[in-house]
A and B are shown apart, each in its own frame.
Chain A
Amino acid sequence: MRLDENEGAFTIPEFGKIQFEGFCRFIDQGLMEELHNFPKIEDTDKEIEFSLFGNEYELAEPFIKERDAVYQSLTYYSELYVPARSIRRNSRKIQKQTVFLGNIPLMNSHGTFVVNGIYRIVVNQILISPGIYYRSELDHNRINYIYTGTLISDWGRRSKLEIDVGERIWARVSRKRKISIPVLLSAMGLNLEEILDNTHYPKRFLFLLKKKERWEREEYLWSREKAILEFYKKLYCVSGDLVFSESLCKELQEKFFRQRCELGKIGRRNLNQKLNLDIPENEIFSLPQDVLAAVDYLIGVKFGMGTLDDIDHLRNRRIRSVADLLQNQFRLTLGHLEDTVRRTIHGATKRRSTPQNLVTSTLFKNTFQDFFGSHPLSQFLDQTNPLTEIAHGRKLSHLGPGGLTGRTASFRTRDIHPSYYGRICPIDTSEGMNAGLVSSLSIHAKIGDCGSLQSPFYKISERSREEHMVYLLPGEDEDEYYRIATGNSLALNQGIQEEQITPARYRQEFIVIAWEQIHFRSIFPFQYFSVGVSLIPFLEHNDANRALMGSNMQRQAVPLFRPEKCIAGTGLEGQAALDSGSVAIATQEGRIEYIDAVNITSSINGDTVRTESVIYQRSNTNTCTHQKPQVRQGECVKKGQILADGATTVGGELSLGKNVLVAYMPWEGYNFEDAILISERLVYEDIYTSFHIVRYRIEICMTSQGPERITREIPHLDAHSLRHLDENGLVMLGSWIETGDVLVGKLTPQTTEESLCTPEGRLLQTIFGIEVSTARESCLRAPIGGKGRVIDVRWINRVDDSGDNAETVHVYISQKRKIQVGDKVAGRHGNKGIISIILPRQDMPYLQNGIPVDMVLNPLGVPSRMNVGQIFECLPGLAGNLMNKHYRITPFDEKYEREASRKLVFPELYKASEQTANPWVFEPDHPGKHRLIDGRTGAVFEQPVTIGKAYMSKLSHQVDEKIHARSSGPYARVTQQPLRGKSKRGGQRIGEMEVWALEGFGVAYILQEMLTLKSDHIRTRNEVLGAIITGGPIPKPDTAPESFRLLIRELRSLALELNHAIISEKDFQIDREEV
């Protein structure tokens, strides 16, 4: 047990801490460790010796700022310098020099990296710790239980020990192949005496040997060579005679023992603990003793001694963080470096060479570039809003190298385990294929050493009844050993001494016991949940599935123009905003000297600090980041005070949506099936207006005919589409772009033959003998839905390693999108919907004081989804709106009292109705409901309707990005059917059910058209265009379409011939036809 004593008050650890703690561990310890392990290198003649002074490494300050790196599409890195020494034995010359090893990408203050101008984040991986795990499982006949011990190496490779029905013990190396334990043991270098001496069950081993045939026993049990040969044969299925050789032994070492049996430090510790061994911790490979002890334990398990393991328990899992991943990469690269130094040092004996000449710096650059570019755990940072950024950094993924895959993971591993309490959020996970595999860290949890997850609790001291905070590890001897109360003593029935009982957690069970017997209590009701979930007010009234959607959808909320704080919140909004780094914070106290939209200057005692604010910058996901100053010139600020609010913060609180007046009532069917109807007010008052900044890029390449050219003069295009270009051929700043306008005019050189291929080229050539243009236009055009204002044009010139000059032009277009029919909006309780209609304000139902409702939701969306929190939320919303109050409500108040939330909400409404003299706000007959009036007729609706201010956000699923139509376009290679998806200009699939629908209507011609000439009947679809243009008859498909022909071909390859034949009625002549 770890006792991290932190007396008194606690704070929630910073949300981004998990990321930079990891990175700091790499910089502080990982680098040093690996550099320290770098060996002394000598050449073959032992003339030169090369060594590194690992503990004197230096990281240079990055020479560009993070923001410039993003701007110029560069990597934000620091240079690693290590002192090195080379000794020449013959000349007794010692050269010491600081060598430049390479670049290491640096993490910024938000826990992210900038690689090639793109924000990236390294997600923490959660995987099974190396060690041995015993289980009982059904054998392949599913009759008998067999006992197995699975040995998991540091790299995630498994090998299994098992006792079968015939009491024999095997080591299973793959699904098919298994090796008998005596063979393995003697191949690893134990002889029979040693085996028998060290086991607790010598008789069983003798029994094992007896089962073997006599000659076998005599043959190889006593000689290691024979055992290795046998092992090798079994392992690689080699038949025939093999001769023992050193190389074979080495190969086995390399391939099997190194890869499968590397335990690592953690594995060694786990194994020592489990098998009660006493092997030093730096022995990172498994030894024969381990295997023997493991077999012993397995036999013990069979006899009912020892314990079986729960592999899903968090005790048996560890977190592989940025530190470990980077350290691995670093180790690999150092290995490569070692090889290169060895190679170069050989030739360096004659030449005079400095240590710097021996090492190359490109190795590190390439490794880290590859790692950040292509490793599955280094992910493109989701920057839709600040919450998304934090949540992304706090993800724990079971996927990735050494982990599971979405297809193969079982239900058990996806399920919530009792040991998750307070460590991994039981709610927050992705939906669909990765459900349960990508989960989220709870807000209070932290990563201990060895990658274990710890959760804090209050320890209740027996004597003084004082409380102090303690971090507990998962596991039987840790938190499961104690009785941990889920609540606190306030929830007890104070009056009666006998009834001081409380629900508690003990050994993975929930029990109800007396308060005196409690060892620990939880420190915060939200302790169990992730950041996203803990932003949901009245969470306890929601079904977990909907809370999951709620937390996921908050991460998709688009920053709105003029954000608004939520009226009913949970109180964590402040920290979420602060830790996201989207607000500008005073780094020191001082007086604000100067302020404008771009920077804020403060000064104290003559030294000035300039804070640059972000204005209308593009984020990774095309949303807009922006900062607005919140301080006045001349004001004095304290350290840590907010200088500027971000795009989704107000007064330092995260605000992802808007408070709008909602009514839960049906309205002419326009809110059928989760559709939502809204008032025009949300459009014209810019309530749900968001900015989106899209980047379009074009590369200027070198072709075989010469370089491409950026120019304004493009003969192929009319002046209208070129109107925004300046004299260089780039779009002018501030121009308004419509679909199809040219953003960058570019000409690609072409050979004359190529240009002659075009009909007009040939015509010109033949008639006038004019030399046609030798270039083809390859302009960058604004795509469909790409209209907006050009806010930036960047010409990026980059010289890569091979000396090539890669030029790219980036054009940034900003769009202002108002809410429209088809956009998705959602609340925080998983109540999502699509806008179905926008009504004028006079048509909306209105309250008794004349205020029209903003949004009408379907009441039927509540009961089946069981997210009652939305109803609870909107009532204090209404009260708070009237009284100008904001509520921050801790969840799970129902444990103190029955109906506590209701008791909290209704008095607020009552107060509001009293204070503002609006009697309609609280009507005792139907509290929380109001008589609404139809704006079109003036008639009062039949039933009172629940209304209130709900906090709704607009999500990043917007029609503008999704709308798509196809008249013609690409086809799939094999089936010749149109492709799928907007990005490929695809069509809409007429699937089975759609065909049924058409059949049901009896529209034979439409159906035929859909299945042939609009899809995969190649001949007719080519002819149909001409037919439409000339007004001729539409061609009639009389042969089978391509996909049917494909089917025939596939059947033929299965040796089935399918043909159709027509037998004439008159003369019975058979007329075969090839399909």
Chain B
Amino acid sequence: MIRDKISVSIQTLRWKCIESRAYSKRLHYGRFALSPLRKGRADTIGIAMRRALLGEVEGTCITRVKLENIKHEYSAIIGIEESVHDILMNLKEIVLRSDSYGIREASIYIVGPRNVTAQDIILPPSVKIIDTTQHIARLTKSITSDIRLQIEKNRGYIIHSSNNYQDGIFPIDAVFMPVRDANYSIHSYGSGNEIQEVLFLEIWTNGGLTPREALYEASRNLIDLFIPFLHGEEQNIDGMNNKKGSNMLPFPLSHVLTDTGETKEKIAFKHIFIDQLELPPKTYNSLRRANIHTLLDLLNYSREDLMKIEHLEKESVEQVLEVLRKRFAIDPPRN
């Protein structure tokens, strides 16, 4: 009996892509099988994978748009059939693919009259447009227009509740969900005690990722979530070789960080955002304006550099340094 069970588990798990099809540029379909699995396991993996696919996969989207000479999105531009808001919504629909994190810039420069589609976007090298036929605007007069875009990679969706941006910048409530839908089914075979299962995973994506990539990314993200369990409680962070792992640590990190290697520290700092430092809003805002978002960014600045930042006064700088010293036992690098 026991031997049987062992023999089952000895068999190596294999996955296979059974079907892969692109119905259109925006609808990719993939069907994968994982076998052999012991009874009940397929369910464990299936539901976890489905949830990870739907919730944990990252996507790229346009998050901010800068339009010149436009006061607000509820206005119309002479010579364009769409209102500004419609153009923003069309931009939201654009599916992008990007390998790099962080904010990227793109732009559209158009001369009418013509139809503007996603093809007209001038992209940074690491970003690609999936469906270039996506309609953006229809220009009916000979006007020129310059649109600047900000592209971000993220997961889930964002809703800008307040938008304190300067004139002409319009945030878009972006949806970074490349997986449109996911499903799994279980087929068992064998009989008696040797029931084995095959897990079929079906993935529909919007083209920002192929189903195969989505599967890869979802499983990687899922694994990342389990990694903390591989280490004992309160254990030294040394064993952790993944950047996501450090994200899970309780705050503050000072006692852990003191004896980590230089690179690890950097990775960890990258994931501590400055809003966690509990700085006064004024200081926080000026840091943000200077494009300082994470601790890592902050550490690139010396005390003198910080002084040079606009609207950041001397006391504030001291305050920032104080926080760094207290919480992380770090001194800013000197020039």
Contact with A along B139-150 (1 / 0, CB 8 A): 011000000000
A894-914 at interface with B (beta carbon < 8 Å): none
Complex CA gap A851/B51 in Å reads 13
Q: Inside 8 A of B154's CB, which chain A residues have their CB?
A: none
Shortest CB distance B21–A (Å): 14
- B181 touching A814, Cβ below 8 Å: no
- Choose the segment among B2-10, B67-75, B313-321 that binds chain A (4+ C-beta atoms closer than 8 Å): B67-75
- A849 touching B183, Cβ below 8 Å: yes
Q: Inside 8 A of B46's CB, which chain A residues have their CB?
A: 938
Q: A738-B162, A935-B51, A938-B43 are in contact. Are A595 and B74 (CB under 8 A)?
A: no
Q: Could you say which of B51, B83, B165, B167 contacts A615, with CB atoms under 8 Å apart?
A: B83
Q: Inside 8 A of B71's CB, which chain A residues have their CB?
A: 733-734
Q: Is B275 an interface residue (CB 8 A)?
A: no
Shortest CB distance A71–B (Å): 16
Complex CA gap A818/B175 in Å reads 14
- B164 touching A633, Cβ below 8 Å: no
Q: Could you say which of B54, B73, B141, B183 contacts A841, with CB atoms under 8 Å apart?
A: B54
- A736 touching B54, Cβ below 8 Å: no
Q: Inside 8 A of B81's CB, which chain A residues have their CB?
A: 595-597, 629
Shortest CB distance B278–A (Å): 21
Shortest CB distance B2–A (Å): 29
Q: A850-B183, A938-B50 are in contact. Are A596 and B141 (CB under 8 A)?
A: yes
* Chain A, residue nearest B74 (CB): A616
Complex CA gap A467/B70 in Å reads 62
* Chain B, residue nearest A598 (CB): B76
Q: Inside 8 A of A1030's CB, which chain B residues have their CB?
A: none
Q: Could you say which of A615, A840, A842, A852 contacts B76, with CB atoms under 8 Å apart?
A: A615
Complex CA gap A691/B77 in Å reads 20
Contact with A along B154-180 (1 / 0, CB 8 A): 000101001111010000010101000
- B76 touching A851, Cβ below 8 Å: no
Q: Inside 8 A of B74's CB, which chain A residues have their CB?
A: 615-616, 691, 789, 791, 814
Complex CA gap A598/B181 in Å reads 39
Q: Is B86 an interface residue (CB 8 A)?
A: yes
Contact with B along A846-861 (1 / 0, CB 8 A): 1011111000000000
- Residue among A684, A789, A846, A852 with max Cβ neighbours from chain B (10 Å): A684
- A851 touching B181, Cβ below 8 Å: yes
Q: Inside 8 A of A848's CB, which chain B residues have their CB?
A: 183
- A594 touching B72, Cβ below 8 Å: no
Q: Is A468 an interface residue (CB 8 A)?
A: no
Q: Is A179 an interface residue (CB 8 A)?
A: no
Q: Inside 8 A of A218's CB, which chain B residues have their CB?
A: none
Q: Is B209 an interface residue (CB 8 A)?
A: no
Q: Could you say which of A616, A686, A733, A842 contacts B55, with CB atoms under 8 Å apart?
A: A842
Shortest CB distance B152–A (Å): 15
Q: Could you say which of B76, B163, B164, B182 contacts A850, with CB atoms under 8 Å apart?
A: B182
B51-85 at interface with A (beta carbon < 8 Å): 51, 54-55, 70-83, 85
Q: Is A628 an interface residue (CB 8 A)?
A: yes
Number of A-B contacts (CB under 8 A): 96
* Chain A, residue nearest B158 (CB): A684
Q: Inside 8 A of B159's CB, which chain A residues have their CB?
A: 683-684, 818
Shortest CB distance B59–A (Å): 12
- Residue among B79, B85, B86 with max Cβ neighbours from chain A (10 Å): B85
Q: Is B47 an interface residue (CB 8 A)?
A: yes
- B78 touching A598, Cβ below 8 Å: yes
A574-600 at interface with B (beta carbon < 8 Å): 594-598
Q: Inside 8 A of A935's CB, which chain B residues have their CB?
A: 50-51
Q: Is A204 an interface residue (CB 8 A)?
A: no
Complex CA gap A848/B182 in Å reads 11
The count of chain A contact residues (Cβ–Cβ below 8 Å) is 41
Q: Is B202 an interface residue (CB 8 A)?
A: yes
Shortest CB distance B19–A (Å): 14
User: Do most interface residues of chain A lie in helix, strand or loop, or is the interface mixed?
Assistant: loop
- A633 touching B140, Cβ below 8 Å: yes
Q: A598-B76, A738-B162 are in contact. Are A628 and B55 (CB under 8 A)?
A: no
Q: Inside 8 A of A678's CB, which chain B residues have their CB?
A: none
Q: A596-B141, A598-B76 are in contact. Are A736 and B50 (CB under 8 A)?
A: no
Q: Inside 8 A of B167's CB, which chain A residues have their CB?
A: 734
The count of chain B contact residues (Cβ–Cβ below 8 Å) is 42
Shortest CB distance B106–A (Å): 22
- A787 touching B162, Cβ below 8 Å: yes
Q: Is A685 an interface residue (CB 8 A)?
A: yes
Contact with A along B177-206 (1 / 0, CB 8 A): 100011110000000000000000010100
Q: A596-B81, A938-B46, A938-B47 are in contact. Are A684 and B72 (CB under 8 A)?
A: no
Q: Is A790 an interface residue (CB 8 A)?
A: yes
Q: A842-B50, A850-B181 are in contact. Are A684 and B173 (CB under 8 A)?
A: yes
- B162 touching A736, Cβ below 8 Å: yes
Q: Could you say which of B75, B86, B140 contacts A628, with CB atoms under 8 Å apart?
A: B86
Q: Inside 8 A of A851's CB, which chain B residues have their CB?
A: 181
Contact with B along A611-627 (1 / 0, CB 8 A): 00001100000000010
Q: Inside 8 A of A598's CB, which chain B residues have their CB?
A: 76, 78
Complex CA gap A691/B83 in Å reads 14
Complex CA gap A937/B80 in Å reads 49
- A597 touching B55, Cβ below 8 Å: no
Q: Inside 8 A of A626's CB, which chain B residues have their CB?
A: 83
Q: Inside 8 A of B43's CB, which chain A residues have their CB?
A: 938
Q: Inside 8 A of B55's CB, which chain A residues have their CB?
A: 840, 842
- B75 touching A937, Cβ below 8 Å: no
Complex CA gap A633/B114 in Å reads 11
Complex CA gap A597/B162 in Å reads 27
- B140 touching A595, Cβ below 8 Å: yes
Q: A791-B72, A938-B46 are in contact. Are A596 and B79 (CB under 8 A)?
A: yes
A647-696 at interface with B (beta carbon < 8 Å): 680, 683-686, 691
* Chain B, residue nearest A818 (CB): B159
Complex CA gap A852/B162 in Å reads 30
Complex CA gap A495/B72 in Å reads 69
Shortest CB distance B267–A (Å): 28
Q: Inside 8 A of B79's CB, which chain A residues have their CB?
A: 596
Complex CA gap A594/B113 in Å reads 11
A536-574 at interface with B (beta carbon < 8 Å): 561-562
- A596 touching B78, Cβ below 8 Å: yes
Q: Inside 8 A of B157's CB, which chain A residues have their CB?
A: 680, 683-684
Complex CA gap A491/B217 in Å reads 62
Complex CA gap A481/B89 in Å reads 61
Complex CA gap A891/B196 in Å reads 53
Complex CA gap A615/B181 in Å reads 36
- B47 touching A597, Cβ below 8 Å: no
- A616 touching B83, Cβ below 8 Å: yes
Complex CA gap A778/B43 in Å reads 66
Q: Inside 8 A of B51's CB, which chain A residues have their CB?
A: 842, 935
Q: A684-B175, A734-B167, A840-B55 are in contact. Are A596 and B162 (CB under 8 A)?
A: no
* Chain A, residue nearest B79 (CB): A596
Q: Inside 8 A of A616's CB, which chain B residues have their CB?
A: 74-75, 83, 85
Complex CA gap A627/B86 in Å reads 12
- B175 touching A596, Cβ below 8 Å: no
Q: Inside 8 A of A733's CB, which chain B residues have their CB?
A: 71-72
Q: Inside 8 A of A633's CB, which chain B residues have their CB?
A: 140
Q: Inside 8 A of B162's CB, which chain A residues have their CB?
A: 736, 738, 787
Complex CA gap A789/B80 in Å reads 22
Q: Which 9 pairs, one residue from A and one from B, show the smallest C-beta to C-beta distance?
A: A850-B183, A734-B71, A597-B76, A938-B47, A734-B72, A842-B54, A684-B157, A616-B74, A733-B71
A selection of 16 A-B contacts at a CB cut-off of 8 Å is A561-B89, A596-B80, A597-B82, A616-B74, A616-B83, A626-B83, A629-B81, A684-B157, A684-B173, A734-B72, A841-B54, A842-B50, A850-B182, A850-B184, A938-B43, A938-B46
Given contact pairs A596-B77, A738-B162, A789-B72, enumerate 18 new A-B contacts (beta carbons under 8 Å): A561-B89, A594-B141, A596-B78, A596-B141, A597-B80, A597-B82, A616-B83, A629-B81, A685-B175, A814-B74, A840-B54, A842-B50, A842-B51, A850-B182, A850-B184, A850-B204, A851-B181, A935-B50
